Amino acid sequence: MATSTAAVAGAGIIGLATALTLADRGHRVTVHDPAPLTGATHHAGGMLAPTAEVVYKQDPLFPLMRAAGGWYPELVALAAKYSELPTGYRTNGTLVVARDRADKTHLDELKQYQAQHGMMAERLTTRAARALEPALSPTIAGAVRIDGDHQVQPRLFGRALFDACANAGVTFVREALADVNETDADQVVIAAGMGAKDIGGWFDGGNPLQLRPVYGDVLRLAVPPHQYPLVERVIRGFVEDRPVYVIPREDRTLTVGATSREDGRAAPQVQGVHQLLRDAIEIVPGLEECDLLEATAGARPGTPDDLPYLGRVSDRVVVSTGYFRHGILLASLAARCVGEIVDKREPSVDLEACDPMRHRRNR
């Protein structure tokens, strides 16, 4: 077992999963974060969707997403090894539906693209989809079933990981790590989300990470007793070509999301909330009877090519950030690969496309 020391900057899902993995491997780990679990993790949907969330022309991301999906049970089991807190991990699968004929064309094209890249998605009749999920609108025009796409509840999972880290001997410092030289740890992992761009001391000429905040409006609804369970599976939909999702939770709530905007406005926007409710009700009309509990907006760290920064940048420093809309899914990959990198082993997947130095301005 390893006996070195490691400092992890950032206590979101990525940082905590990484810290727990390193601690389980025998490292003495310290996590630096002034406000754990209050960043992107707090606002995330938590879909583990390597098939449903494919984005056109981002082929280098697909093997990372597939690997992360396959490794997720190991991460959930690792959390359970050290904590009895719930994670909200559910394997009910996902339905993707089209609101009208134009949206069905989009859905058919997406399924074809998924099949070209070896992803499994089963076309269903609308009658079969509504037999699985009776709350779906009777006017949907198409449906696809993806059994391999699952979910966690990020706030629950985050708390479970935090508790697991504490039980595994991880030390928490409630201050940000502004410079890697502020710690004498043998290895430093920069996993601070958007904050990673402000951490210095590891590259001459300033921090080279080009991160931008991409905001997403997200809603949390409560399902009335007479409607519960409104849906059992994650429902993703296309409504006038706009994506929307509805995620059922064990606590009788639903998460509805998410918009994507780069306007620098950190508060949820009325237009975004209206759009999400309107589109979600188009595919699951019973949402009209739910209680609105919360509207939030989180900033996801994006990179110029929307691929993460993941890899070693010096003998002492590893960067793990920029996961954009896939942060929850890719947490399993980030934790596993950083553990391997810190242990001076070859990562289990090819990380060439994730080189943290690929966007430095003097290249």
pLDDT, tens digit, 9 for 90 and up, residues 259-299: 999 999 999 999 999 999 999 999 999 999 999 999 999 99
CA distance 209 to 361: 9
Question: 11 and 76: one domain?
Answer: yes
Residue 322 belongs to a domain: yes
Same domain for 180 and 57: yes
3-state DSSP assignment of residue 171: strand
CATH of the domain at 344: 3.50.50.60
End-to-end CA distance of the chain: 39
**Is residue 292 included in any domain, yes or no?**
yes
User: Do 64 and 126 reside in the same domain of the chain?
Assistant: no
Q: What is the per-residue pLDDT for 166? A: 98
Q: Which pLDDT does position 3 carry in this prediction?
A: 67
Q: What is the pLDDT of residue 361?
A: 59
- pLDDT at position 205 is 77
DSSP string, 223-287: --TTT-SS-SSEEEEEETTEEEEEEE-TTSEEEEE---B-S---SPPHHHHHHHHHHHHHH-GGG
Residue 56: what pLDDT?
87
Calpha distance 104→96 (Å, rounded): 10
The answer to whether residue 161 is domain-embedded is yes
Same domain, 338 and 242: no
Are residues 287 and 217 part of one domain? yes
- Domain assignment of residue 363, yes or no: no
Evaluate whether residue 360 is within a structural domain.
Answer: no
Q: Flag residues of the chain having pLDDT under 50.
A: 362-363
Whether residue 77 lies inside any domain: the answer is yes
- Give domain status of residue 362, yes or no: no
Q: Same domain for 80 and 171?
A: yes
How many domains does the structure of the chain reveal?
Answer: 2
102 with 171, same domain: the answer is: no
pLDDT of residue 2: 56
Please identify, among 282, 302, 322, the residue that sits at the C-terminal boundary of a domain.
302
282/221 same-domain check: yes
| Same domain assignment for residues 194 and 270 | no
Q: What is the CATH number of the domain that holds 143?
A: 3.30.9.10
Question: Residue 189 sits in which domain range?
Answer: 5-86+153-210+304-354
Which residue pairs, CB below 8 angstroms and at least 24 apart, start in 203-208? 203/313, 203/360, 205/362, 208/356, 208/357, 208/359, 208/360, 208/361
Q: Are residues 161 and 291 in the same domain?
A: no
Is residue 169 situated within a structural domain? yes
What pLDDT shows up at residue 362?
46
71 and 169 belong to one structural domain: yes
pLDDT in the model for residue 84: 98
Q: What is the pTM for the complete model shown? A: 0.96
Answer whether 165's CB lies under 8 Å from 20's CB.
yes
185 & 262 share domain: no
d(CA 16, CA 158): 8
Domain boundary among 284, 302, 320: 302
Bridge-partner residues for 29, per DSSP? 6
Distance CA 29, CA 22 (A): 7
